[in-house]
Amino acid sequence: KQEVTQIPAALSVPEGENLVLNCSFTDSAIYNLQWFRQDPGKGLTSLLLIQSSQREQTSGRLNASLDKSSGRSTLYIAASQPGDSATYLCAVNPSGAGSYQLTFGKGTKLSVIP
């Protein structure tokens, strides 16, 4: 059974710092991996999606990398801002599952201090 772990569970950084969020998964047979953002009391918003054949994806100040063989992904946030404060969730989509089901980690709660 696929398990997804996110470390750390919570992170507090001063504004302007660069930071890295980590995600690991137990089964390397994945179709893709996604990073989501969740604001308090809100739904999830997709940030980046990395296909299994890709090594990284970038969107603005966000960069996500994927090392499928080691079962790891990182989300790099450059020049953090208070508006980046949210919970970040990692989810994997297993290979061969035509339903495109996602298995989620528990998330990393990020606080960016002004």
Partner 1 sequence: NAGVTQTPKFRILKIGQSMTLQCAQDMNHNYMYWYRQDPGMGLKLIYYSVGAGITDKGEVPNGYNVSRSTTEDFPLRLELAAPSQTSVYFCASKPLGGGAGDTQYFGPGTRLTVL
Q: Which residues bind partner 1 (CB under 8 A)?
A: 4, 31-32, 34, 36, 41-46, 49, 51, 89, 91, 93, 98-102, 104-107
For the CB of residue 101, give the shortest distance to partner 1 in the complex, in Å.
Answer: 6
For the CB of residue 3, give the shortest distance to partner 1 in the complex, in Å.
Answer: 10
Identity of the residue, 14 or 60, whose beta carbon is nearer to partner 1 in the bound complex: 60
Residues in the chain: 114
For the CB of residue 16, give the shortest distance to partner 1 in the complex, in Å.
Answer: 29
Neighbours of 66 (CB within 10 A): 24
What values do phi and psi take at 70, rounded to 5?
-95, -5
Nearest in space to 108 (alpha carbons), one of 11, 19, 12, 41: 11
